[in-house]
Structure 1
Amino acid sequence: MGKRELIDAMMGCTDDSDFDQIKAAIGTDYVWTKPETDELVEIAFEAMEHGRFDYLKHLRIRQFYRELLWAYAGYAFDENMKRLAKEILPIRSLDIWSFWNQEYEINRGYYNNRIATWNSEDMDIEFSAYDGLYHVNSVTTSLAFIRDGALFSRKYGVENYPEMQTPQRTDDKDKIYGIFNDIFMDMNDSRQITKRMSPYGPVSFVLDAENILLNDNYCKRITKTNPIHWNEDMSYKDRYFTTYNELFDYKRFCIGNEINNYPFRSRLDKHITLWDQDRVELTPESLKWILVERNNDYTISVQVRDAIKSSLEAVGLANIPVVIRPDVLRHNDIGLATSEDELWSVY
């Protein structure tokens, strides 16, 4: 059965008996063009919306569509493709949480042996490099998060807090790849591991991993490479982990090549992203604490810490710890998202 015949057969599929003629063809190694992909996606939606036949309930058809979207290369999904992708592509929340939790147990011990834990100067908290999920940003944008009561995407910030949204050199690229409305997080404190300042700013929001990863309202993805390195020839599967087993295969690869000391996000450039999630509410349950880089001029760090504390108090989050890191981090060998003055500016 050729590609055109397969499309026609799927278009006319109304019940299980129609599967016999397309099962063999589904296994054929076709390369689908963008117009053909669009047509196949439209077939699935028309079938579901008109109640004829729910393709996604049948494992063979579901896997066919997953592989179709995995192979898609180019820029952002259009709206129909995105709706279908959100339904069938993300790894289950429970699987991501299970994997992160196993990594937590292994790597918290590993990092604590390799990198000393540290305590703040004025509160009884021991910090490690693996205390939750980390979102890093500029001072001004961080203050906007607190004012809004939520972490928010770049798109939401530009639309609602344009005067407090620090520009980033990746914005245009994020738009064409359809991730401008995503929220990005690191799965460990790569600042503490690498002793390098983040290109995106001196403020780290540390979020409770269980609260985020087990929340099924968030559509979660894990990048294979930093989006700054993406190009239009890369497929979805080149950009994201697609299955639970693939995560563990990657872990075994890291161990075999002795690079398991950088799990998920650090030098391997992995993020967990919340897909098309414009806001993540900041609450005592979701936000553990906030870390501020130690500037060469310590008084600047104190000024930033105090501004954050004041903002937290104004929105009823006065009990959230705000802590200055113990060491000045290296920053002269990284490409900053914008100027250092803009990243540190309180206003």
Structure 2
Amino acid sequence: MFEFAWPWIFLLAPLPWLLRQILPSADSGEAALKVSFLNELEGLSGRRARANLSAWRQQVPFLLLWLLLLTAAARPQWVGEPLPLPTSGRDLLLAVDVSGSMSYADMRWNDKPTSRLELVRNLFGDFVEGRHGDRVGLILFGSRAYLQSPLTFDRRTVRAWLDEAVINIAGPQTAIGDAIGLAVKRLRERPADSRVLVLITDGANNAGEIDPLTAARLAAEEHVRIYTIGIGADPQKSGVMGMLGLNPGVDLDEPTLTAIAEQTGGSYFRARSGDELKDIESTLDQLEPALQNPTNSRPAQALYSWPLAVALLLSLLLVARQVWPHGWQDLLGRIRRRSRWT
């Protein structure tokens, strides 16, 4: 659709006429003979009307030039259809524990036993894709922490990286402090009111170079809110795993995870089943709501160069007419003679 960005510019159209009426006539500096009855003589002979018509014709190019300049100044543009733009909302990093204990199938989803990591893939994959308008990134940590996906609007790719995460890809142990430190490093350059880390683990910090509480203090200084999620069923005192002394739920360090969340202004959640983890996902969406209404933009192609180019060409022609008046007349005469011959 064609439109003018500044249509009010056309209100300046009568400005030259107003200036001519207000300002005094220019003095040529030459001596002139004034005859009181010259107007009557011109009126009787009809020369005055012809002179007025000739003067009007001489003003037409300048009037056209003025209108072309006004048209260019009004910013003509061709505006396209509205297109959605990604809205810069929160910068959210998801840190997922992929140590060996995340392979325990002590969780249930759709009435079927499933491993802890598989449950995180299923539920938090939907959580990531639902963060419209947010930049989302992924950290996988075990004995070390790795940035699997940087902050991006491409949520489908982040989910694909989460779906492809495998147990022990970052080592068999748990480096919670390193994961927080890496997240702080990636979020510190983002706006202070949009830095969020969601950390999911089933154990205690037993690897890495940074103490979790020290990393949490650094996160608080950088205004990074951390939501910690402890995943895993309650410790079993009976059953096969209890008889064998395998109780992965015992390793979960809830006091440290709670302290991390409280120190950074976040919250700690305990997920003992798939239903609880799903409720936690919904709670996070409420605590850190995503921007559901992305803004629209209409691309505009500027067209001011066209009237400006025509005005420049017309100006050059007027200058050429003043500099070479006889040459101009000769050129017009040649064009007329050629038109007669053809």
Normalised by the length of structure 1, the TM-score is: 0.20
Q: TM-score, normalised by structure 2?
A: 0.20
